[in-house]
Every structure is written in structure tokens, then in C-alpha cells.
């Protein structure tokens, strides 16, 4: 495999401070698996963890990256499966921007033969967020209307595809015409441009005045406030994150008067409290993938050594879908 390489932060800072380090090959402890990484996905959280603004604060130096795919190269004591040579994906707290990673077996899932590594790396966090957010937290039912904000991004696109696969009618919001066209191409039933201040009215018009049953919000800021203006009776708002940089305050009288629920989803918390549900969700998603009902859109790939440039493209919102690094 050649010596292990990783792109690491040596001090907290912007993506351009990531440095390439050559490290000794890792050895899996009992219950751990070592994966030869073929692809690692980039997420907005990787930028935040580098700036020291994320819930996870690893000790320096560290490699960011929470999603990888590749082949099992070594297995720690006490594990029967997966065997060396198995194609897998893994979701990690951090450390994915590397040519090899070691992680506990519970974070690792075998992938179908039909799935390329780029897709597998782009699958873990965004699709689990969409699935658990819509199924477990949002209780989305077939025939309901789902409003997905920032639907052309990695997390939003996963929710759009999963919403369609679950039989919902999907309204997608995004900030440019080409992004809205991509959403329609991916199955959105209707699209709205959130830069148009009147978008809550458009949602009402599209739903015959009823509003959206479920709102999927990775944006925060004013988007949350405006969403409460176009949500249906008994509707659910699922808070996924705050890509706008603004954590909104919510007037709870609106929650009461409109008979709505506001619920949150942080996938990392499942790792600690309900890892079994993460594995079930992943299996259910892989079945949908194998059926051709959902598939990640990888808009760009970069060599591992250009991880800084890849994250800068993500931060500048130049990307649709997912960006993947290839060690």
C-alpha cells in the first residue's frame, strides 16, 4: 500500500493549513478494523472541526474527515467479519483524510458490489442524516409534502432523494436556477428560490394553502422563521444544522399556535446512544441504492493532497452534491 499518508491540521485554522504527513501504518486493536481508503468524502463539518468550532475537538495534530470507503486490510483480535479484502464504508468521528484508517467494527458496513467507492464514501453521513431525519425524527408518511432547504447540497440532495423514495411530494429550495434545475432532474415535484423573499407564499400556493407537512432544514437563520409561516397543521420541522452560520431563536408561541413539532437530528449522538439504529438505517439505505432509488451525486474529486482546495470549494458553495478525495 505504500506508507500511510494523512492530511492533518497541526493548529486550528482554515483548510489551507492542512499538511501532508507520512505516518507509521496503523494496527487495529481488538474489535477494530483497518481500512485501505479508496475514497474519503468532504463535509461542511470538516471545515468547522479545523476551526475548532465543532462539537468534536480532537487533539492536534489530527486529520478531519468522517466518511470513507475502501477495502479491509487488517482485522483486530476477536472479529470474525468482515474479512480482509471486503469492500466497506465507514463513518468516523474524524481521521478520514488518510490513506488508511482504523476504526471500531461497529462503524463499518459492507457495501454492495454495484457501488463504486466514490459513491460509498459520499453515502454515510448525508444519507443517514436524511433517513433518520425524515423517518425517525420527522415521521414522514407516503403522500405528505416535504420541503427540503438547500436541496442541491450534499445533505439536502440526500433528503430530496430519500423523500421521493419514501413516497412524499417534494418541494426543493435552492439559491440559483442551475441548482433548482438539478433538483428537478433528481425528482423534485416543485422548486422555489429562497432568495425570493416571497417563498413561504409560494409553498402555500403549491400546497393549496395547507403548507408543508415536514420541513428539512440544514440552513438555520431566517430560513427557520420563514418555514414556520408555511408549515401545515401538525407539521414537523427537522433541524439538521446551521449552514447559514446563524443559530436561530424560535418563538415558541408559534410552535403552540400552529400545532407543530420542532425536532433535531445529530447523527453523531446515535453513535453513542443507538449504534444499532445507525446500522439498520445504513442497511435500509443500501437496499434503496441497490434498487436504483437513491444515488449520491459526486460533483468533483480531488487528490488527497488537495484536501484544502476541496474544502475551500465546499465553503464557497461552488459545489452541488458531494466532493470526494482520492488517496
| Residue-wise pLDDT tens digits, 55-66 | 889 999 999 999
Residue 2's pLDDT is 74
Residue 120's pLDDT is 96
108 and 53 both lie in a single domain: yes
In a domain, 72, yes or no: yes
Q: For residue 164, what is the enclosing H or E element?
A: helix 154-165
Residue 147's pLDDT is 98
In a domain, 238, yes or no: yes
pLDDT range class, residue 320, cuts 50, 70, 90: confident
Q: Is the pLDDT of residue 262 over 80?
A: yes
Q: Is the pLDDT of residue 27 over 90?
A: yes
pTM of the entire structure? 0.87
**Which residue has better confidence, 320 or 198?**
198
Q: Is the pLDDT of residue 84 over 90?
A: yes
The CA distance from 34 to 79, in Å, is: 12
Q: Is the pLDDT of residue 319 over 80?
A: no
The CA distance from 251 to 246, in Å, is: 16
Residue 1's pLDDT is 63
In a domain, 284, yes or no: no
Q: Is the pLDDT of residue 259 over 80?
A: yes
List of residues 6+ apart from 118 with CB closer than 8 A: 39, 69, 296, 298, 301, 324, 326
In a domain, 288, yes or no: no
187 and 108 both lie in a single domain: no
206 and 302 both lie in a single domain: no
Q: All 3 cell numbers of residue 176?
A: 440559483
60 and 192 both lie in a single domain: no
The CA distance from 291 to 59, in Å, is: 41
In a domain, 285, yes or no: no
In this prediction, residues 156-169 reach a mean pLDDT of 97
217 and 312 both lie in a single domain: no
Bridge partners of 217, per DSSP, are 239
DSSP 26: P
95 and 175 both lie in a single domain: no
List of residues 6+ apart from 257 with CB closer than 8 A: none
The CA distance from 107 to 278, in Å, is: 9
In a domain, 147, yes or no: yes
Which residue range is the domain that position 13 belongs to? 4-123+296-326
| Residue-wise pLDDT tens digits, 214-242 | 999 999 999 999 999 999 999 999 999 88
Here the CATH number for the domain that contains residue 111 is 3.90.180.10
In this prediction, residues 131-142 reach a mean pLDDT of 98
Residue 153's pLDDT is 86
Here the CATH number for the domain that contains residue 144 is 3.40.50.720
224-229 long-range contacts (CB < 8 A, ≥24 apart) are 224/248, 224/250, 225/250, 226/199, 226/200, 227/147, 227/149, 227/200, 228/254, 228/255, 228/258, 228/260, 229/200
75 and 165 both lie in a single domain: no
Q: Provide the number of structural domains found in the chain.
A: 2
322 and 199 both lie in a single domain: no
Q: Is the pLDDT of residue 19 over 90?
A: yes
In a domain, 168, yes or no: yes
Q: Is the pLDDT of residue 318 over 80?
A: no
Amino acid at each position: 500500500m505504500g506508507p500511510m499518508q494523512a492530511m492533518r491540521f497541526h493548529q486550528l485554522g482554515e483548510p489551507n493549513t492542512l499538511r501532508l504527513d507520512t505516518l507509521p501504518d496503523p494496527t487495529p486493536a481488538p474489535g477494530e478494523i483497518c481500512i485501505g481508503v479508496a475514497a474519503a468524502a468532504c463535509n461542511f463539518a470538516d471545515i468547522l472541526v479545523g476551526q475548532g468550532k465543532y462539537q468534536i475537538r480532537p487533539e492536534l495534530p489530527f486529520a478531519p474527515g468522517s466518511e470513507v470507503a475502501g477495502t479491509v486490510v487488517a482485522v483486530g483480535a476477536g472479529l470474525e467479519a468482515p474479512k480482509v479484502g471486503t469492500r466497506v464504508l465507514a463513518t468516523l468521528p474524524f481521521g478520514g483524510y488518510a490513506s488508511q484508517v482504523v476504526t471500531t467494527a461497529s462503524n463499518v458496513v459492507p457495501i454492495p458490489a454495484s457501488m463504486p467507492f466514490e459513491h460509498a464514501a459520499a453515502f454515510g453521513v448525508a444519507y443517514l442524516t436524511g433517513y433518520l431525519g425524515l423517518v425517525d425524527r420527522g415521521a414522514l408518511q407516503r403522500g405528505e409534502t416535504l420541503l427540503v432547504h438547500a436541496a442541491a447540497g450534499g445533505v439536502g440532495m440526500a433528503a430530496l432523494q430519500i423523500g421521493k423514495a419514501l413516497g412524499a411530494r417534494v418541494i426543493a429550495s435552492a439559491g440559483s436556477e442551475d441548482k433548482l434545475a438539478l433538483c428537478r432532474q433528481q425528482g423534485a415535484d416543485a422548486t422555489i428560490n429562497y432568495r425570493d423573499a416571497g417563498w413561504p407564499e409560494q409553498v402555500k400556493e403549491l400546497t393549496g394553502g395547507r403548507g408543508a407537512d415536514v420541513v428539512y432544514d440544514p440552513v438555520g437563520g431566517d430560513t427557520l422563521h420563514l418555514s414556520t409561516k408555511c408549515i401545515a397543521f401538525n407539521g414537523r420541522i427537522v433541524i439538521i444544522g446551521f449552514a447559514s452560520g446563524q443559530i436561530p431563536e424560535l418563538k415558541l408561541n408559534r410552535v403552540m399556535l400552529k400545532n407543530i413539532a420542532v425536532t433535531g437530528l445529530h447523527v453523531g449522538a446515535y453513535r453513542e446512544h443507538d449504534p444499532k439504529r445507525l446500522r439498520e438505517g445504513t442497511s435500509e439505505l443500501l437496499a434503496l441504492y441497490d434498487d436504483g432509488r437513491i444515488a449520491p451525486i459526486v460533483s468533483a474529486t480531488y487528490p488527497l493532497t488537495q484536501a484544502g482546495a476541496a474544502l475551500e470549494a465546499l465553503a464557497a458553495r461552488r459545489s452541488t452534491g458531494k466532493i470526494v478525495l482520492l488517496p
